[in-house]
Amino acid sequence: MVLYRLFITDITDYGNQRCIAGWDVGRGKMIRPEPAPGSFWPVGAVGPHAQFELGALVEFDACVPKTPTGYPHQTEDRVVTGASRRLRILTTSERRQILDETLSANLDDLYEGNLQVENRRGFVPLGVNCRSLGAVEVAAAEVRIFEDTDWGKKRLRCQMQHGGSMIMPTVTSTLIRQRYRDEGIMAVLRQLAPARTLHLRVGLARAFPQKPDRCYIQVNDIFPI
């Protein structure tokens, strides 16, 4: 077991479950704490009086999964071996400082040249030993958040440029999706509208049966700067 102290940066919406990720302030890298290898947390584990909250500093013992979870996710996957201890909520200036530490210059830098694009969907092949979590900052004018209905149901997407290609990853942020469900797309756009720069928390979804060899890029959160 190893002690981790994590600043929670990403809380991803998977229906009635949540994926948690944060910056390991001692080791200077992203970590994905899990209750079991490759598993998500119940909704009740997230919130003001729960184990995890966006912006909180938490501490826990964890280990590398004994059952391999597969790269690229295995780079950050850690299984929590006991109760997590919530230390405090960081101040705005503390959050800004740590978020800056999580940044990569661009998506190529973040995924170490392994990001591929097909049909406007970015992905990293399953099994590639690289990062699966990180962040980039882009000019707000170069990003379009929109409501997509092309796949049989409404979902938020983030249109952005990657090299010479356009990609449209799904927005999986728990807070943004909740605002979208409660108030609609215009409320989401108003929240982001004043910003000149957007801090994009970026991750990879795990491979799924229809595409078992691909981990698609997703936007885990968007912070206006």
pLDDT at position 209 over 80: yes
Q: What's the pLDDT at 8?
A: 98
Spell out the domains of the chain, with CATH numbers in brackets.
2-95 (2.40.50), 103-224 (2.40.50)
Q: What's the pLDDT at 168?
A: 96
> For residue 68, what are its two tokens?
């391999």
| Confidence class for position 149, pLDDT limits 50, 70, 90 | confident
Query: pTM of this prediction?
Result: 0.95
Q: What's the pLDDT at 150?
A: 75
Q: What's the pLDDT at 137?
A: 98
pLDDT at position 203 over 90: yes
In the chain, the percentage of residues whose pLDDT exceeds 90 is 92
Ramachandran region, residue 47 (left: φ > 0; alpha: ψ -120 to 50; beta: rest): left
| Confidence class for position 1, pLDDT limits 50, 70, 90 | confident
Section 161-187 average pLDDT: 95
Section 107-113 average pLDDT: 97
Q: What's the pLDDT at 35?
A: 97
Q: What's the pLDDT at 107?
A: 97
> For residue 77, what are its two tokens?
């996957």
- What is the chain's percent helix, strand, coil content, to nearest 5? 20, 45, 35
**Residue (of 161, 170, 166) closest to 204 by Cα position:** 170
**Residue (of 93, 221, 84) closest to 145 by Cα position:** 221
Q: What's the pLDDT at 151?
A: 65
Provide the β-strand partners of residue 157.
146, 170
